[in-house]
Structure 1
Amino acid sequence: METVTAGSWDELQSELFAHSWNEKLQRFRSRFAFRGLSNANYRLETSLIRLGGDYDYVERHLLRNFRKYAHRNVVERDSLWHWLSVAQHFGLPTRILDWTYSPFVAMHFATASIDKFDRDGVIWAINYVKAHELLPDCLRDKLLAEGANVLTLQLLSDTINSLDELDALASEKVVIFFEPPSVDDRIVNQYAFCSVMSDPHMVLDDWLEKYPYLARKIIIPASLKWEIRDKLDQANVNERVLFPGLDGLSRWLKRHYSPRT
């Protein structure tokens, strides 16, 4: 897997937008999913894995009870993918990982925690188009028929609508990128989409060891974080925009007025 370290703000921009030229379209259209982490040593573990214990056993119980108690508030349609997306959005441990199409949003999440400015951060970039070439025919055919690169909830629900069906999707473990429902402005403003593994035990960076050509790791040195953070704030990429509401406003103001030391 390619790993690069950005030595400056300009180098970081260059690395994040590398390989974005689409010869067929004659446009700059990146095919990478981005995920920013405040610590370069953090793995691509789902919140379900981080729950620990018999997380694979309790997954269906978590989701069943979430559906039971949340149904009257957030129901849009009764499908596995709707409920997984909404549960992830509201903090339930799931096998979903959050990604963004925006390199700047990924930069925000890599530099949002000033208590971690003493350690390197990282932005993961995964080519979701190439990753989807590994999908079983039932899903690849739907993408081809739709002319899409990322699956929607409707396309997924037409093929898979239970955890058992997801687990049995393929003998070879695969990762699926899909777009969640826009249940609030947070998802829209973060330009968010999601990934899910067909195996709830699989950590994505372990899976990528088998397909290293799919991903890049862009290391952000700790010494660069303050400059990135200040420039993102100047560009209006901050909690006030990405987390609309008084909680996001308060988080932005707290960090914005915190002393450097």
Structure 2
Amino acid sequence: MLEQRIGTWLELQDALFAGSWSEVLGRHRSTFVFRGMPQVTNDLSTALNRKGLFVRKEKDLLRAFRKYARSYSPQPVESVWDWLALAQHHGLPTRMLDWTFSPYVALHFLTENPERYGEDGMVWCVDYRQTNRHLPRRLKTLLQREGADVFTGEMLATTASDLSTFDHLAKHPFVLFLEPPSLDARIVNQFALFSVMNGPELRLDTFLEAQVDGVRKLIIPAALKWEVRDKLDQSNITERVLFPGFDGLSRWLRRYYGPRAPAHASDAPPVRKRRRVTR
């Protein structure tokens, strides 16, 4: 795994889009997914296995969610994978983690909380073609047959219709990336997908730290966060767009019009001294 400390906005752009050129396609088409985190101390534990709180309750949580959520779902949900995506999307502890195809959406989540601007943050960048090399043969064959690099719930259900079957596809840890159905505009606008590992107790950071290729961790210093945030706002990467509706609009306005005191001394613009005019 490569760890890189970023110094400037332009250096950040180069790092986020590094390796995006495809010789085969003759286009800039990145095979990386991204996850922005406001603190370098944040890990990649899931809400299910963080501190071991719910790891033994996965089946109970999902069974109860499916039982009570049917009346709320705007469309029929069939596979366990789509149920998991729906549950994760609405805050239930699951083995999934949120990722995005968009590096700028990842930067939004890095800078969405001004209270964290005094701390270094980070962006995880993961090449799913590299992590796919560790998939069990049945899942590799499925991707090849579909001509895909990430999974859908419908695809995955043809090989593993339940979590127990999925967990027994391989004895070694692996991760796959699952693109959820377009449950709402939030999923679509965030260009979202989820990571899934073959065990509720497994930690993705432990898995990724052992990978030589296709994993980068970009450290974003506190001194750069205000510039990143302001340029994202100008690019229309805001809560109003990523969380459509009254809640997202209010979150954006509260942050945008909130106090903008520098979080770090080096964030303040330089003071220009007036020239003394002699006559």
Which TM-score bucket, shorter chain as reference? Answer: over 0.9
How far residue 196 of structure 1 moved from its aligned partner, in angstroms, is 0.4
Q: Which residue of 2 aligns with 1:224?
A: 224
SS in 2 for 1:133: helix
**CA offset digits 1:153-192 (Å, max 9, x no partner):** 1110001121211221201111011100111000000001
Q: Give the Cα–Cα distance (whole angstroms) in 1 for the partners of residues 56 and 106 of structure 2.
A: 32
**CA offset digits 1:106-148 (Å, max 9, x no partner):** 0100011101001001000000011112111111111101111
Q: Which residue of 2 aligns with 1:256?
A: 256
Q: Which residue of 1 aligns with 2:37?
A: 37
Aligned partner letter, 2:13: Q
Aligned partner letter, 2:108: H
8 Å CA contact 1:51, 1:93 repeated in 2: no
Q: Which residue of 2 aligns with 1:203?
A: 203
SS in 1 for 2:97: strand
SS in 1 for 2:213: helix
Q: Which residue of 2 aligns with 1:73?
A: 72
Matching of residue 8 in structure 1 with residue 8 in structure 2: yes
Q: Which residue of 1 aligns with 2:57?
A: 58
Q: Which residue of 1 aligns with 2:162?
A: 162
How far residue 51 of structure 1 moved from its aligned partner, in angstroms, is 6.2
**CA offset digits 1:31-72 (Å, max 9, x no partner):** 00100000011111111112633x222111000000010012
Aligned partner letter, 2:61: L
Q: Which residue of 1 aligns with 2:246?
A: 246
Q: Which residue of 1 aligns with 2:275?
A: none
TM-score of the pair, normalised by structure 2: 0.91
SS in 1 for 2:36: strand
Q: Which residue of 1 aligns with 2:147?
A: 147
Q: Which stretch of structure 1 is more off in the superposition, 104-113 or 200-209?
A: 200-209
Q: Which residue of 1 aligns with 2:110?
A: 110
8 Å CA contact 1:106, 1:123 repeated in 2: yes
C-alpha spacing 1:52/1:151, structure 2 compared with 1 (3 Å) = same
Q: Which stretch of structure 1 is more off in the superposition, 69-78 or 82-91?
A: 69-78
Matching of residue 23 in structure 1 with residue 23 in structure 2: yes
Aligned partner letter, 1:165: T
How many residues in Structure 1 have an aligned counterpart in Structure 2? 260
8 Å CA contact 1:177, 1:195 repeated in 2: yes
Q: Give the Cα–Cα distance (whole angstroms) in 1 for the partners of residues 137 and 220 of structure 2.
A: 38
8 Å CA contact 1:179, 1:192 repeated in 2: yes
SS in 2 for 1:48: coil
Aligned partner letter, 2:242: L
8 Å CA contact 1:208, 1:214 repeated in 2: no
Structure 1 regions of 5+ residues with no counterpart?
none
**CA offset digits 1:64-94 (Å, max 9, x no partner):** 0000100122152321101100000000000
SS in 1 for 2:25: coil
8 Å CA contact 1:76, 1:82 repeated in 2: no
Q: Which residue of 1 aligns with 2:47?
A: 47
Q: Give the Cα–Cα distance (whole angstroms) in 2 for the partners of residues 167 and 83 of structure 1.
A: 17
SS in 2 for 1:58: helix
Name segments (4+ residues, structure 1) moved above 6 Å.
none
Q: Which residue of 1 aligns with 2:97?
A: 97
How far residue 208 of structure 1 moved from its aligned partner, in angstroms, is 1.4
SS in 1 for 2:258: coil
Q: Which residue of 1 aligns with 2:273?
A: none
Q: Give the Cα–Cα distance (whole angstroms) in 1 for the partners of residues 258 and 212 of structure 2.
A: 39
Q: Which residue of 1 aligns with 2:267?
A: none
TM-score of the pair, normalised by structure 1: 0.97
SS in 2 for 1:216: strand
Aligned partner letter, 2:207: W
Aligned partner letter, 2:27: R
